[in-house]
Amino acid sequence: MSILPNADPGASRGPDQEPWLHELTVSEAAEIDEAFATLLASGKSDFAAGAAEFPLPRVGPKLRRILRSMEDEPGFALVRGIPVAGKSEEEVRRLYWGLGIHLGVPLIQNNSDAHMVDIRDEGRAGRLRVHSSNQHIGFHIDSTDIVGLLCRRAAARGGTSLVVSAEAVRREMSWVCPDLLPALYEPLPFADVASPDEHHPDFFLCPVFGRHEGRTTARFYLRRILRSQDNPAAPRLTDRQRRAVEAVEEIAARPDLVTAMEFQPGDLQLINNHMVLHGRTRFDSEEADTGRHLLRMWWSVPSSRLLPPEFEAAWGTRQPGTLRGAARRWQLHGEFGEFQRRQADAFGVVISA
């Protein structure tokens, strides 16, 4: 799909554009640049700054409206036009952090205490995570309510983002392989992203699909389901379960179900991980200072849903609007933890005991 630059300063989406695409106007992009200048002038560090140091009187409410709308289909959005051009890597990081202050409570994402993760080819592909490579990444959900990917540089070739509705996949399976679908409501072992040893990973149990209050909730990552078998304590996958999870991966990639996005610099992709599976195609590797580079943040948000009871072990809590996801032991420590608490208070996100 080809999208022309927005020529009307008062329009956010043209009549022929997809409902998930939200193009910033010239004045909205200028508001972000002005907020960035305010943050720099404040002299405050990222963890000391708040919404007052990155003021977005129009863009902030707009982003939060988009987030709230993502509790319904399609469950994802692309915000186009974040002003990253002409900024250094560090400046783009700080600008993204400022935007994130307006979205929810950021989460630590790994054992290295990273709250913003680089998605680029660094020649490293772990057994549980492959985002530091140029490899294909299969369909999955991230361990957070909302994931945001900001494109700083696009790939010269490849790196197409792929998103698909979990409910569409579940419905298609009910038609083409109904004999396998019940296996996806059973608790399956997932290798835990917080495992200190990825060769013998910890695991948790969670179904791929759950239904609660008339809505489908999903948890899926074929790579981590299969990697759970490296832990002899994890339940052994049955043949039917293996065929079922492989069918999810295959059906999710169907052209009539998947949405493909070619990122441009300044694109911010937002995904509700309870509703949407995402992945990417392989991309051509380039020099580190010229190749594809995305920045990833994770958030807990007040609009998050009540999860099915059988999902509680995977998330720590099933309650809506709570600080959940990633690993609980990573969160709420030190200066960043104090920032998280202030953000939770400002957004009305509950921190459970």
Residue 129 burial (CB < 10 Å; 0-12/13-18/19+)? Answer: middle
Q: What's the pLDDT score for residue 255? A: 95
- CA distance linking residue 76 with residue 50, whole number of Å: 26
Q: Give strand pairing partners of 114.
A: none
Confidence of residue 152 (pLDDT cuts 50, 70, 90): very high
Mean pLDDT (whole number) for 208-229 = 95
- CA distance linking residue 350 with residue 353, whole number of Å: 9
Residue 127 vs residues 87, 105, 224, 283: alpha-carbon distances, Å: 34, 28, 9, 19
Single-letter amino acid code for the residue at 285: S
- CA distance linking residue 134 with residue 12, whole number of Å: 33
- CA distance linking residue 132 with residue 137, whole number of Å: 11
CB-CB contact of 285 with 156 (8 Å): no
pLDDT in tens, 284-308: 876 667 789 999 999 999 999 999 9
Q: What's the pLDDT score for residue 8? A: 33
- CA distance linking residue 100 with residue 48, whole number of Å: 14
Strands 21-23 and 76-80 turn out to be: parallel
Identify the H or E element spanning 170.
helix 166-176
What pTM value is reported for the model?
0.92
Mean pLDDT (whole number) for 159-180 = 97
pLDDT in tens, 256-290: 999 999 999 999 999 999 999 999 998 887 666 77
CB-CB contact of 86 with 36 (8 Å): no
Q: What's the pLDDT score for residue 123? A: 63
Q: What's the pLDDT score for residue 125? A: 57
pLDDT in tens, 239-255: 999 999 999 999 999 99
